[in-house]
Amino acid sequence: MTPPASGVRALGPQPQAPVLTVTLNPALDLAASIERVVPEAKLRCDAPQIDPGGGGINVSRAMARMEGASQALIALGGPTGQRLETLLDQAALPVIRVEAPGDTRESLSIKDRSTGEMYRFVLPGPTWAESDVRTACRAIVDAAPEDGIVVLSGSHPPGVPADLPLRLCEQLKPRRTRLFVDTSGEPLAAVAAARACVSVLRMNDAEAEGLAGRALPTRRDTAQFAAGMVSAGVAEQVIVARAADGNVIATREGCWHAESLPVPIVSKVGAGDSFVAGFTLGMARGWDAADAVGLGASAATAAIMTPATELCRPEDVERLFDARIVTPL
């Protein structure tokens, strides 16, 4: 086990590289609970909790909770987009707005109190044309911080091609901007096949097994798969989330595993985005991979302790980071 490094603090203002998060398919997140989910009947829910949602937005929100700084580039449209933008303004989150080709989507999370299970309903969002994609790419590159980090996180809107991360990776090279990609499905497969060497690529264990074409039952299996992707030039760092078994990261220097410490599970919504926020913040501060993945794991674990879309609480992140367990593989 790697003991916590002395002098490394999870929270508090610290020097960091600039970070831009990108959310092309944001959502107005509504979360409520009900005694029991049953078919046919009118299900009268409690008053909803309403939050701005979408991968990059959640990354920026969680970074702010850890006293990190970022700008959020977001595609917004219609009345729902205006409402979401108002919520972001109230949260004092710096936003760069890109016009979406239609009304911003909504998503709904319902907790069944009788079982503790969460039901999540996610709408697709407006359909994009190629001209919309080109406009968004220009906006991202124009806003990308030189020698900083761009985080591309969350699902693509309908119509956005799977090779978007590859386009951005190429266009960001002149600015020496590191691209962190947290995606799934066809975009993940496109990045894995192209070997464009993005800075960071994150996926979950099921996605890793799909790319590997085999089961990855142990941490060492996952580490070998991730290290193979690094050696093949897919990414400089590859992260695989193994659910309750923590997170594995492979870099050119080695592989590490960060434990998920046992905590009461309230909601898993936003845990992955909180991980990306913590890891990105650690890297932006110039930490090594082991400490950065430790902060990511701490933020993710803190997020599952909170209801609905609340994300991680600073005091939980601080405590969990102090107790982190990161092991070389």
- Residues annotated as catalytic (active site), given as ranges: 273
Closest to 261 in 3D by CA, of 275, 244, 276, 278: 244
What is the C-alpha separation between 162 and 183, in angstroms, rounded? 10
Distance CA(192)–CA(232), nearest Å, equals 9
Burial track 58-70 (b if 16+ CB lie within 10 A, e otherwise): bbbbbbbbbebbb
User: Which tokens sit at 93?
Assistant: 């989150």
CA distances from 190 to 104, 198, 226, 329 (A): 26, 12, 16, 28
Adjacent-strand bridge partners of 73: 22, 96
Pairing, β 19-23 against β 71-76? parallel
- C-alpha angle 49-95-203 in degrees, rounded to nearest 5: 70
Amino acid in position 5: A
Largest CA distance in the chain: 57
The 10 Å Cβ neighbour count of residue 209 is 18
Are 66 and 11 spatial neighbours (Cβ–Cβ below 8 Å)? Answer: yes
Rounded Cα gap, residues 34 and 46, in angstroms:
6
Pairing of strands 117-122, 105-112: antiparallel
